[in-house]
Chains A and B, each alone.
Chain A
Amino acid sequence: MDLKYNFKPKSKWREKLGEKFIAVNAFAALIGIALIFIFIFKESIPIFTDATVHEEVTIEKMIKPQVWKEGQEARYSWQPNSTVPKYSLVPLFVGTLKAALIAMLFAVPLGVGAAIYSSEFASKRLREVIKPVIELLAGIPSVVLGFFALIVLATILQDSFGLTYRLNALNAGIALGLAIVPIIFTVAEDAMNSVPGSLRDAARALGANPWQVSFTMVLPAAMPGIAAGIVLGFGRAIGETMIVLMASGNAAILSGSFTESIRTLSATIAAELAEVVFGSPHYNVLFLIGTLLFVFTFLVNLGGDIVLNRLKARFQGRTR
């Protein structure tokens, strides 16, 4: 092989310029994100400070159950356009978590399983087909997945399980799962592929069969990467909007059932922001939901990062 490494000595000022250019870009991105967060947060501030807003909504009303009608038990309800506006965030939170939970139950085994198969068992030719096809799934616009769930999946689920509600948490969760399978698959597959071949050879030399190699050696070694894929997928499941807007039925019901309709935080913003009166308490609450989603995904990513580093440290045998 004729490899030619050609390191041209670069002039100092060009190097400096390049360095500065990259730094400016990185800071621009940081500032952009900070500004977005400040804007979203700023629009939700009146909820904490404004007395006229407090007549309609307070943090307490959003979190604790309220008695809205005499003689009725206290309840959580989201009815912002009612004569007495009700802004309980609890059913929205529960709905979001329900959808994300089903999505993860659906997508993690599928994504990780496909990754194990593709990286450990499939022949090279087959892998070259599987990988791009699953990654192509990531390119399907979520509105198409939502439409599929609305028209096809909902009918299949209703007919096979005899469900009362066509559009429900299960339906939305599975469609959401389809959207995050490629994310989990890609990241997990890359992690397993990057486990050095010499480790596999060593395990085989010790007499391990392919199953033992994959499950007791490769899988633990690739665990940090797999965990990262799962965390990324979860973040997407929390924030994904179009699919849940179309497939969940958008009824803010607070229950433990997975076959009833749900309303998620992100779908609520999408459905209501377009028509809300600007600057009204309702508008502020929608921005508060945006802030919460922002903080929530940030925490999930942060938590994921910490877990990741711990795992990395453990599997690489480092101690502190």
Chain B
Amino acid sequence: MRRLIVAALAAATVAVPALAGNITIKGSDTMVRLGQRLAEEYMKKFPKSVIQVSGGGSGTGIAALLNNSTDICMASRDMKPAEYSLAKSKGIDVKRYSICLDGIAIFLHNSNPVNELTLAQLKAVYTGEVTNWKNLGGKDAPIVLYGRENNSGTYVYFREHVLKDEDYSERCQTLPGTASVVNAITKDPNGIGYGGIAWATTVKHAGVKINDTTAAVQPESEAVSNGSYPISRELYFFTRGVPTGETKDFINWALSPEGQKVAELVDYIPLHAEAAAANMIK
């Protein structure tokens, strides 16, 4: 759904005549809101620049970057080896800039009595070993799994870090976009889902424990940025070669305290100040 709306918006903005200093940003659905807010604030500050942001998914953004149809690609995962070698074969030296952090929250229905889960429990749930909430301290009801499309960056991250590269249960329903996942959990008392924390407002976040002996950690800004929340990741901007001009200015601004503040306002987690400064393009 969201992908379509964004595509429509993108199509609408294409009609605006191109100006000098025009930047296009494309990619991860998880990062669309971040990209849009950063662009908005940047354009307020520098009225002469025009920045177009659209979603479509990390893979779409990477393909667009390699086909020279976007200046910056947003991606919630690193590029795959196949994608790196494709870039190399095209003679493109891809540069990666970590822009901010994101926690992957576990979404539960508000009425669900379960409040916290260990990583091992999460793995068992998503691989289909545990199929009833009563095994996790909840009521006697089947667990209904929701996840992302198998090409989403979030899907890949979750499989690597929570499922330890095992397969998702085939009963896991895959939905396009984190917003759809949140919407599904809102309507399904037995549902469980995952996604970037910036999206969830109508569902409960489960606390996540590394193992039985540690305390449960809520996916909050502080916990993600100091590394105590176990499922968090970096969100990236990719460019073709070291960016110059407007693109460079924009990325550096996004990494400045001002840009990081904007990210924080839309519920993404800012980088540590030193890390952000170190990431800036010289």
A253, B145: Cα distance in complex, Å: 13
Q: B83 CB to closest chain A CB, in angstroms?
A: 6
Report, nearest first, the 4 A-B pairs whose CB atoms are least far apart.
A275-B59, A275-B151, A249-B173, A81-B150
User: Is B171's CB under 8 angstroms from A82's CB?
Assistant: no
5 contacting pairs across A/B (C-beta < 8 A): A79-B167, A275-B57, A275-B60, A275-B151, A277-B82
A251, B149: Cα distance in complex, Å: 10
| Chain B positions within 8 Å of A1 at CB level | none
Q: A275 CB to closest chain B CB, in angstroms?
A: 3
Q: Does B172 contact A (CB under 8 A)?
A: yes
Q: Does B168 contact A (CB under 8 A)?
A: yes
| Chain B positions within 8 Å of A309 at CB level | none
Q: Does A280 contact B (CB under 8 A)?
A: yes
A142, B172: Cα distance in complex, Å: 24
Closest residue of chain B to A282 (Cβ to Cβ) is B151
Stretch of B44-52, B184-192, B195-203, B267-275 at the chain-chain interface: B184-192
A82, B168: Cα distance in complex, Å: 9
Q: Does A274 contact B (CB under 8 A)?
A: yes
Given A167-B184, A277-B59, A278-B86, also A250-B174 (CB < 8 A): yes
A79, B1: Cα distance in complex, Å: 23
Q: Does B212 contact A (CB under 8 A)?
A: no
| Chain B positions within 8 Å of A251 at CB level | 170-174
User: Is B142's CB under 8 angstroms from A164's CB?
Assistant: yes
Question: Which among B149, B168, B171 is the interface contact of A272 at CB below 8 angstroms?
Answer: B149
Taking beta carbons and an 8 Å cutoff, which residues of B are in contact with A?
1, 4, 56-60, 63, 80, 82-83, 86, 142, 144, 149-152, 155-156, 159, 165, 167-168, 170-176, 180, 183-184, 187-188, 190
A261, B142: Cα distance in complex, Å: 14
Q: A247 CB to closest chain B CB, in angstroms?
A: 11
A275, B150: Cα distance in complex, Å: 9
A251, B144: Cα distance in complex, Å: 11
Closest residue of chain B to A78 (Cβ to Cβ) is B170
| Chain A positions within 8 Å of B151 at CB level | 81, 271-272, 274-276
Question: Which among A154, A155, A274, A278 is the interface contact of B57 at CB below 8 angstroms?
Answer: A274
Residue count of chain A within 8 Å CB distance of chain B = 39
| Chain B positions within 8 Å of A166 at CB level | 144, 184, 187-188
| Chain A positions within 8 Å of B80 at CB level | 277
| Chain A positions within 8 Å of B144 at CB level | 164-166
Q: A172 CB to closest chain B CB, in angstroms?
A: 12
A277, B62: Cα distance in complex, Å: 9
Given A80-B150, A165-B144, A246-B1, also A277-B86 (CB < 8 A): yes
| Chain A positions within 8 Å of B188 at CB level | 166
> Would you list which residues of chain A between 64 and 86 have a CB under 8 Å from chain B?
77-83, 86
Q: A140 CB to closest chain B CB, in angstroms?
A: 16
User: Is B63's CB under 8 angstroms from A143's CB?
Assistant: no
A167, B176: Cα distance in complex, Å: 13
Taking beta carbons and an 8 Å cutoff, which residues of A are in contact with B?
77-83, 86, 91, 143, 147, 150-151, 154-155, 164-167, 245-246, 249-254, 260-261, 263, 271-272, 274-280
| Chain A positions within 8 Å of B156 at CB level | 81
| Chain B positions within 8 Å of A82 at CB level | 159, 167
Given A81-B155, A166-B188, A274-B151, 9 further pairs, Cβ under 8 A:
A79-B150, A79-B168, A79-B170, A250-B174, A251-B174, A263-B174, A271-B176, A274-B56, A275-B58
Given A165-B144, A278-B86, also A271-B149 (CB < 8 A): yes
| Chain A positions within 8 Å of B173 at CB level | 165, 167, 249-251, 261
Q: B244 CB to closest chain A CB, in angstroms?
A: 28
Q: Which of B4, B80, B174, B180 has the most CB of A within 10 A?
A: B174
Q: A12 CB to closest chain B CB, in angstroms?
A: 48
Closest residue of chain A to B160 (Cβ to Cβ) is A83
Q: Which of B173, B176, B180, B183 has the most CB of A within 10 A?
A: B173
User: Is B83's CB under 8 angstroms from A277's CB?
Assistant: yes
Q: B82 CB to closest chain A CB, in angstroms?
A: 5
| Chain A positions within 8 Å of B152 at CB level | 275
Q: B63 CB to closest chain A CB, in angstroms?
A: 7
User: Is A274's CB under 8 angstroms from B59's CB?
Assistant: yes
Closest residue of chain B to A262 (Cβ to Cβ) is B173
Closest residue of chain A to B56 (Cβ to Cβ) is A274
| Chain B positions within 8 Å of A280 at CB level | 82
A77, B58: Cα distance in complex, Å: 25
Q: B138 CB to closest chain A CB, in angstroms?
A: 15
| Chain B positions within 8 Å of A165 at CB level | 144, 173
| Chain A positions within 8 Å of B4 at CB level | 143
Q: A272 CB to closest chain B CB, in angstroms?
A: 5
Question: Which among B1, B60, B142 is the interface contact of A147 at CB below 8 angstroms?
Answer: B1
A155, B191: Cα distance in complex, Å: 14
| Chain A positions within 8 Å of B171 at CB level | 251, 253, 260-261
Q: Which of A79, A86, A166 has the most CB of B within 10 A?
A: A166
| Chain B positions within 8 Å of A83 at CB level | 165
Closest residue of chain A to B142 (Cβ to Cβ) is A164
A249, B172: Cα distance in complex, Å: 8
Question: Which among B59, B168, B187 is the interface contact of A155 at CB below 8 angstroms?
Answer: B187
A80, B170: Cα distance in complex, Å: 12
Q: B110 CB to closest chain A CB, in angstroms?
A: 16
